[in-house]
Structure 1
């Protein structure tokens, strides 16, 4: 009896301790969740444009002036919240909360670094552009047109002051970013000269409101065009180089890529992947040589052999006038394949709209996705397609050979189904708002690149009656994956090793087999962006490695569909954090 009493008493003590520990853990978790709610609300007040992009529209009427006072306020905000984070012990937080903590900290540190160290606000005029955000509010569906126009009206009042502050900030800008700013602002002025006035006139606003808004539109358009004209006429005989330099590049890589591996390690992996792809492409091109080249003697140089086969296959492409229509036609085919193979659950209620790329976005990427944020989950996702209208015939032909009937399908996998569109729909369903708003570009781009290979592995592009994609599709996939790999090598080489334009074009055209138009576009892109081109290869490598690791651990219990849905359930967190959570789970 005494023994039983002691055992019972001990059990009560253990239960009591366990209960107290659970209560303490729940309290700490609640404290952190309460903090993240306060933080996000304060974040949108400090960065209202960021909030609008995420679907939080309470601050749509605010257009901050990008002056010294605003930068100091941004730094103060970041430093105050870094102090707030110090009140939490990482060891006290769950896996999900720990990831949110680290993502918030990384964002805050990057705000300070951008303002005080990188200082792109001095040398990158293209970051001064109000057009896109106005267009997003105008075309939104979250409220009545009149309510959105009234927010826009207040916001419009600050446009002249915005561009005046931009002029004062700019010091020794690069030629490349200056030209991009001129092109995008000049194109974007149509938002205030055409799109917005049309909506104002068609609205139910009273005549006095309409008149006042139309006056503000004219003032805004004038400020934008004056800014572009000032950039054109502002003499800058010794402009800053667009190259970021090794030290800044390594720092930016750490903040933006958030990889589980170092910059140098990923560079070595990219070099190794390029060699691997060349081997795969050579063996595939050898098999295809007789079908496309007949009795012609194959060159001894493996890269020349690959190039000749690719050039033949690339002649099978659509026309300039049918480019967007061809993309639109392929979307339902991708949906049907994913559903048939049960690769991932798709949500048909979330709209995907293919549209011509707006002018204010032109000059960086030929195709992109504009997705609604977590506060506007049912909004349209736009697949922005670059227009070939007005292109010289030779340039259009070069572009269409690059995006031939095979690679155009891979592009649609990447941008739409089951790539960016699908991943971003899942991200908006994440229970963690932090993982949605601070999306890792490496995870987002990595997922899109991963799905390209995954779709072919599961038979996409196979002829009827077969489960294996055709050799042509595989060859073009290898070329496409080589693009992601060489994106890394190009960006790293240009910004850390003074890679010349001539050497870059050789890498892209001779070793990555890209058409001249594509290579020229990529050189333009690397000259106005930094680090972002590293996202594709880094994210793909990390996601594919995680999948293979999970396969090995789970054996016959592994489910590809379950892996995909579990992976995407963590929002757009960096892959290294998702890996930690999935492995432990």
Structure 2
């Protein structure tokens, strides 16, 4: 999971203050110059209307503003979207440069998606986790993009309307999904410390006068009371007919279309993933038979092929670090991964961009074990964070279950995915791409797909050629494949928790703790789990076609860097541009 995911839904929270802020300037489209002017105005309006999203992207002009998500503003947003669609439609797309043409299609999809979320999905009514400004507060408090006093004063201003924000949230929510209510409670409870303690601690380190500090801490107490009030309201909320977290097949297909911008439909991807699972099982059986004598001697192999694989994997999984040493073990891996990428000439890395391993912030919730928080395109030199959940405090059995899942083999693959050559490296390329649109409205499938592709690329280049690592990579790769199967079967069909856990532990060979965590995740997200295999599949198909096109001139590094030069655009748009031989 990445920075781009955190504010994927924020686009539908635009707040229109007045006509001059919400509408594009009058344009007589004349090609690329006019389109560039349109994009510039559009983004400027977006950050004023969505300051939290702007903060996440590194745009801090409107940090002090907090928008209130009420009906009036939502209606204004619908009008805004219509006007933006009308403005965009005035451009002749075939007259635009390849880069602007991609931006055109990205914006067109985003406007349609935002309108669909407001008018059809309406998750602002049934998802209490929709209302959460704590990440923006944390970003402003902890990132050093401006002097501390300025950031604290912006925070103080932003807190003024926090009680109104959460009261409005209570008005909007109707019959929410229980799983999403629980997530909201978890996120708000985990993040309240940002304003309850960390804000006051930062004030003590600032040059702000004592009298002003007193005003700021008083307001922070009111803000904390508002968050606690929202938590209590959610805890006491009763509903005779709560909405199911499942989207249903029609909504799922629509969301998949907008969110992944895939070359496939959701049903097609599910079918492809199902066949891929069978292929992987076959390869894993062959490797397990090869490894069996090494670890079990002359013991009889299990008759059931999946049991055979499970036995070998279970033995290999016993080799792992400790809960206390997990973060430091990850830190040790990063220089090794960087050196390998450089030695094999897979990609040009920028060692000047800071990367830190940290305990996953509590306000994230624990839907995912690891994630990458990357700086936005306006803050290219900001710190990227490799977030990992803390296993301390868990029961011994549960901590052991996680450690066996993230053993000495798969922990390295996790770091390939999250950091090098995965999310950390890719998002640096995206921030350096000339188009802000491709970075801001990033394709989740491209971002996650690249990370999955990067894992295989490292092993194909000889990172660890042992059959043990190969078997563990197959297990890891099954995560992406089975994510797709699980997400579709749960949201489009009616897979139960019991069926899901059996599927994940038996057919995907996951530890119990990992499987339970994945069930929780599929209950609070939708479509996102598809992005891993979808993006991977599209990138591999593109690379195969590019190899044929280039013939003897093909070089892996050249493909990688050309692909990444298009920012985080949908793979199908990158494929079209690369097929035409046109640069970004």
- TM-score of Structure 1 vs Structure 2, range by shorter chain: over 0.9
**Could you tell me how far apart the structure 2 residues matched to 1:106 and 1:62 are?**
27
The answer to whether the 8 Å contact 1:420/1:445 transfers is yes
Q: TM-score, normalised by structure 2?
A: 0.94
Residue 397 of structure 2 is matched in structure 1 by 394
SS for the counterpart of 1:353 is strand
SS state at 1:582 partner: helix
Report the Cα distance in structure 2 between the residues aligned to 1:349 and 1:531, rounded to whole angstroms.
34
Question: 1:129 is paired with a residue of what secondary structure?
Answer: coil
Displacement of 1:74 after TM fit?
2.0
Q: Structure 1 residue 251 and structure 2 residue 254: aligned? A: yes
Corresponding residue number in structure 2 for 1:3: none
Give the superposition deviation at 1:175.
0.8
Contact 2:355 2:383 in 1 (8 A): yes
User: What displacement does 1:416 show?
Assistant: 0.3
1:85 aligned to 85, 88, 110, which one?
88
Residue pairs, 1:495-510, within 5 angstroms: 495-510=491-506
How far did 1:273 drift?
Answer: 0.6
The yes-or-no answer on 1:237 pairing with 2:240 is yes
| Maintained 8 Å contact 1:197/1:214 | yes
Contact 2:269 2:534 in 1 (8 A): yes
Task: Describe how 1:415-434 pairs up with structure 2 within 5 A.
Answer: 415-434=418-437
Q: Name the residue aligned to 1:228.
A: 231
1:544 aligns with 2:540: yes
In the alignment, which residue of structure 1 is the partner of 2:530? 534
**Alignment partner for residue 449 of structure 1, among 445, 449, 452?**
452
Are 2:35 and 1:46 aligned?
no
Partner of 2:519: 523
Q: Which residue of 2 aligns with 1:21?
A: none
Q: Where do residues 47-446 of structure 1 align in structure 2 (5 Å cutoff)?
A: 47-446=50-449
Conserved? CA contact 2:386–2:419, under 8 Å:
yes
Does the CA-based 8 Å contact 1:125-1:173 persist in structure 2? yes
* Per-residue deviation, residues 102-125 of structure 1 (Å, max 9, x unmatched): 111111111111111101111100
Whether the aligned pair in 2 keeps the contact of 1:125 and 1:170 (CA below 8 Å) is yes
Mapped pair 1:483 → 2:479: yes
Q: Which runs of 4+ in 1 moved over 3 A?
A: none
Match of 1:558 in 2: 554
Give, in whole Å, the separation in 2 of the partners of 1:413 and 1:73: 43
CA RMSD of aligned residues (A): 1.0
The 10-residue stretch of structure 1 (411-420 or 104-113) with the greater mean CA deviation from structure 2? 104-113
Deviation at 1:27, TM superposition (A): 5.3
Aligned residues: 553
Deviation of 1:70 after TM superposition, in Å, equals 2.1
> Alpha-carbon deviations, 1:348-369, whole Å to 9, x = none?
1100011000110122111000
Q: Give the distance between the partners of 1:71 and 1:113, measured in 2 at CA.
A: 13
Deviation for aligned residue 1:95: 1.9
Q: TM-score, with normalisation over the residues of structure 1?
A: 0.93
- Is 1:580 paired with 2:576? yes
Q: Does structure 2 conserve the Cα–Cα contact (< 8 Å) formed by 1:138 and 1:148?
A: yes
Report the Cα distance in structure 2 between the residues aligned to 1:93 and 1:263, rounded to whole angstroms: 31
Q: How many angstroms apart in 1 are the aligned matches of 2:537 and 2:163?
A: 45
Aligned with 1:347: secondary structure?
coil
CA distance in 2 between partners of 1:516 and 1:56 (Å): 41
Once the two structures are TM-superposed, the CA of residue 94 in structure 1 deviates from its matched residue by 2.2
Query: Alignment partner of 2:310: what SS?
Result: helix
Structure 1 residue aligned with 2:468 = 472
In structure 2, the residue matched to 1:6 is: none
Shift of residue 381 of structure 1?
A: 0.4
Q: Secondary structure at the match of 2:62?
A: coil
1:516-569: CA deviations, max 9, x gaps? 000000000000101000000000000011111111111221111111111000
Q: Within 2, Cα distance between the matches of 1:521 and 1:103?
A: 32
